[in-house]
Amino acid sequence: MPEGQEKQRLRDGFGREITYLRLSVTDRCDLRCSYCMAEKMTFLPKADVLSLEELYMLSDRFIRRGVRKIRITGGEPLVRRDILTLMTMLGERVSAGELDELTLTTNGTQLGKYSEQLKDIGVKRVNISLDTLDREVFAKLSRRDALDQVMEGIEAARAAGLKVKINAVALKDTNEDELPRLIEWSHEKGMDITLIEVMPLGDIETLRSDQYLPLTAVRERLKALWTLTDLDFRTGGPARYVKVKETGGILGFITPLTNNFCAGCNRVRVTCTGEIYTCLGSDGKLDLRSALRSATPQDALDEVLDRAMIGKPERHDFDIDRHDTRPAVVRHMSVTGG
């Protein structure tokens, strides 16, 4: 197929149109959050990771097949050398009207360096993972004493004019009592915040059932403090939102375990090695790297993408069972980029 010729938009077997790509550019991270990865992680050999040029070729094919939003993820994407080169090229696709949005998920440690450049590239908003405002709890959770660095990154992003949303994983006996304060703090600074249930991905040192805090219980506690009004507002992701009357801010809930969110799924994930996962909560994958490196990469990519659409499951496989210590999904969150 000639490079400029368009193929049909990506649509799975359940009629869901795929318009959102979460693209992981590295599995490496400068933190070691206990719910995400093991302390002594074995990262991928650099030779296995797609080059920036290959990541752009993949992105281009997705754009040509109807993807309108790309989120750059990791690991921590900003630790990837020269990552702004890729983001600059994708930013040009936003300027040309071929993408609606280019966004970034980050732990915030590198935003002090890169916020201004991200804004210039065309990134308008970033999601920052932050589970606590307590320095000791942060150090215990992330296994790094880096809270000050993250806070500086958040302020740098806000100063650059980036819209910041905080993502916080709700963890039993760890940050559950602090969640109201974290919400208040976010709203005081004009930042929305989303709470996320822990997801059973990858072997870690802690039992997922010991970490799991259902957001139904959290919401009931918050309703005793504040007035929560459900919103129809959607961002293309799985979160469901409420307005907190007393703080004036927006609060999201991502509930893969207590309230399955798969019916409206519009996204796929691609790892930094070129594996496409059509569902975060499933181990099913296909190889895009071989297609990229074939004699006819455009045709080969289209063939794999079509097969991926046929194989995309109706719903995820997440479950937490206290009597079964195995993770529902073998790979770590950092491999797929959340």
Partners of 267 in the beta sheet? 20
- Measured in whole angstroms, how far is the alpha carbon of residue 100 from the centre of its chain? 18
Mean pLDDT of the chain: 87
Q: What is the dihedral sign for C-alpha 70, 157, 89, 29?
A: negative
Predicted local distance difference test score (pLDDT) of residue 178: 97
Distance of alpha carbon 279 from alpha carbon 276, whole angstroms: 9
Is the bond preceding 108 in cis, omega lying within 30 degrees of 0?
A: no
Predicted local distance difference test score (pLDDT) of residue 237: 66
Choice among 222-231, 265-274, 278-287 with the minimum mean pLDDT: 278-287
Tens digit of pLDDT for each residue in 161-216?
999 999 999 999 899 999 999 999 999 999 999 999 886 544 445 555 577 889 99
What are the structure tokens assigned to 321, written together? 């069972």
Binding residues for S-adenosyl-L-methionine: 35, 75, 129, 199
Selection from 210, 226, 266 nearest residue 67 by Cα? 266
Block residue for tokens 């004036």 = 248
Distance of alpha carbon 67 from alpha carbon 90, whole angstroms: 12
Confidence band for 322, pLDDT divided at 50, 70 and 90: very low
pTM of this prediction exceeds 0.85: yes
Tens digit of pLDDT for each residue in 276-306?
999 876 778 999 999 999 999 999 999 999 9
Q: Does residue 111 register a pLDDT over 90?
A: yes
Predicted local distance difference test score (pLDDT) of residue 337: 57
Confidence band for 238, pLDDT divided at 50, 70 and 90: confident
- Please, are residues 91 and 104 in contact by the beta-carbon 8 Å criterion? no
Is the bond preceding 75 in cis, omega lying within 30 degrees of 0?
A: yes
For range 215-222, the mean pLDDT: 95
- Please, are residues 26 and 77 in contact by the beta-carbon 8 Å criterion? yes
- Please, are residues 205 and 39 in contact by the beta-carbon 8 Å criterion? yes
Binding residues for GTP: 22, 71, 105, 165, 267-269
Predicted local distance difference test score (pLDDT) of residue 310: 93
Partners of 229 in the beta sheet? 243
Better-predicted residue by pLDDT, 317 or 31: 31
Predicted local distance difference test score (pLDDT) of residue 260: 53
Domains of the chain and any CATH numbers: 20-336 (3.20.20.70)
Binding residues: 22, 29, 33, 35-36, 71, 75, 105, 129, 165, 199, 262, 265, 267-269, 279
For range 240-260, the mean pLDDT: 86
Confidence band for 35, pLDDT divided at 50, 70 and 90: confident
Binding residues for [4Fe-4S] cluster: 29, 33, 36, 262, 265, 279
Partners of 165 in the beta sheet? 127, 192
Choice among 64-73, 81-90, 135-144, 209-218 with the minimum mean pLDDT: 209-218
What are the structure tokens assigned to 319, written together? 């479950």
Predicted local distance difference test score (pLDDT) of residue 236: 58
Distance of alpha carbon 8 from alpha carbon 241, whole angstroms: 32
Predicted local distance difference test score (pLDDT) of residue 335: 53
Confidence band for 261, pLDDT divided at 50, 70 and 90: low
Q: Which amino acid is at 232?
A: D
Predicted local distance difference test score (pLDDT) of residue 1: 42
For range 253-269, the mean pLDDT: 74
Selection from 57, 74, 93 nearest residue 23 by Cα? 74
Q: What DSSP assignment string belongs to 232-273?
A: ----SSS-EEEEETTT--EEEEE-TTTS--GGG--EEEE-TT
